[in-house]
Amino acid sequence: MDPIAVAAGTALVSAMAADAWLGARHGLVTLWRQVRPEQAEVVDEELAGTRAQVLAARQAGEDDTEQALVADWQLRIQALLRADPAVAVELRRLLDTEFAPAPGAEERDRIGTLEMKAEASGGGRVYQAGRDQHITER
């Protein structure tokens, strides 16, 4: 399977449960309309149905259900790529802009900012980590 189809299907389903949902939906339906206009409305409805399934699966903790939905959309996107390989360029743009969910407030606080500088000389060692570094000397 084309790596862009794998990435796009995964990111699309993740976006369904996040703030990126509307942009992801619009972007994919617009792309579908360019390649297979006769299917665009059905795809739009199916995206809405899949979103409901993703939200229910997350609430119930059903990771297998979500993974099955990811696989389904990966196959659909792969078929779209086969119909028009030039779609890969637009899919990459959608991945970078519409499918990537914006981090929530909690995640933004957790990420923060980290700046580290180090200098070693004379055979010295420097170990730096943004979090959870464990070094065992033997």
63-92: per-residue pLDDT in tens? 899 999 999 999 999 999 999 999 999 998
Dist CA 93 CA 118 (whole Å): 36
Q: Residues near 1 by Cβ (< 8 Å), separated by ≥ 6?
A: 74, 75, 78
pLDDT of residue 138: 64
Alpha helices in 17-133 (DSSP H): 21-35, 40-60, 63-83, 87-97, 105-111
Q: Is the pLDDT of residue 112 over 60?
A: no
> What is the 8-class DSSP label of residue 5?
H
Per-residue DSSP letter, 123: T
The model's confidence at residue 17, banded by pLDDT at 50, 70 and 90, is confident
